[in-house]
Amino acid sequence: MKIIVANWKMNPQSVIEARSLFGAFKKNSSKKAEVIVCPPFLFLPVFSKIANVKLGAQNCFFENSGAYTGEISPLMLKNAGCEYVILGHSERRRHLLETDEMIGKKIKAALSAGLKVILCVGEQERAGEFDLEAEIVGGQLEGGLDGVKKTQMRNVVIAYEPVWAIGTGVSDTPNQTLQAAIFIRKKIGEMFGRNIGQEQKVLYGGSVTSKNVKPFVEQDGIDGVLVGGASLNAGEFAKIIERVGEAC
C-alpha cells in the first residue's frame, strides 16, 4: 500500500477552513493508499477521532515535559491522536537552524513515545552527479538515525525531498528519485542491516501534483509521496489520491 502524506505547513487560518479541508480528505480517502494528514498543532484535537484518515504532526520537541516554552512534546502528540510526526523538514533546517543532532534527539523521543517518524532528507541543489547528493543525504541519515534501535526502524519512513524542488513547481524525475531511494536503502542497510534496508519505506516530496504523481508511485522503489501546497486544494488532493490509487 502506498503512502500519501499531506503537510499543511502553516495553513489554513481558521478551524472552519480546516474542517472543510479535512472533510474533503475523509471523503476522498482511498483503500489502496494510506492517507496521513499533518495539520498545524492547533487543529489536531479537532480531527483526532475522525476515521479513514490518519493524523500526523509537523514537528515535536525531544522531551515529554518540562520548562520548554512554546514546544510540543511527542507524548502530547500521541495523546492528541497522532500516529505520525514529520521531522527534519528542510524548512525547519533552514529557518529554525535545526541540526542533524537535534533532529536525531527528536526522532528517538518520538519513537519512544510510540509515534511513527517521517524523516525528511534532501540536498539543497542538483549537482549533476549523485556523489554530492549522496554525501549530504547520507550525512542526514547518519545524524538523524544515530542511536535508533534496529527494532524501531519499522516505525521510520524516509521522505526524500530535494530542497530545490520544494515549492518551486519543478519536481525531480521519477528515475532520479528512484536512484535516491536505492541509495537511501543501501545506506540504511549499512547502518541497520541489509534486511532492514531492503524493507525501508521511501517517499518522494517536492512540487508533487496530480499531473506528475503517477510516474513516481508507479516505481516499485518509491512507496508514496509527501505533498505540500497541493494538499491545501481539496480537489487537487483528491486527484492525487485517485492517481495513486490507479498506480497501485
Known catalytic residues are 89, 161
Residue 34, strand partner residues: 3
Separation between Cα atoms, residue 164 and residue 9, nearest integer Å: 18
Identify whether the C-beta of residue 119 lies closer than 8 Å to the C-beta of residue 145.
Answer: yes
How many whole angstroms separate alpha carbon 63 and alpha carbon 73? 6
Joined together, the cell numbers standing for residue 219 give 516505481
Contact 47, 22 (CB under 8 A): yes
φ, ψ for residue 120, nearest 5 deg: -95, 130
DSSP string, 90-155: HHHHHHS---HHHHHHHHHHHHHTT-EEEEEE--SS--SSHHHHHHHHHHHHHHHHTT--GGGGGG
- State the CB neighbour count (10 A cutoff) for residue 169: 9
CA distance between the termini of the chain: 7
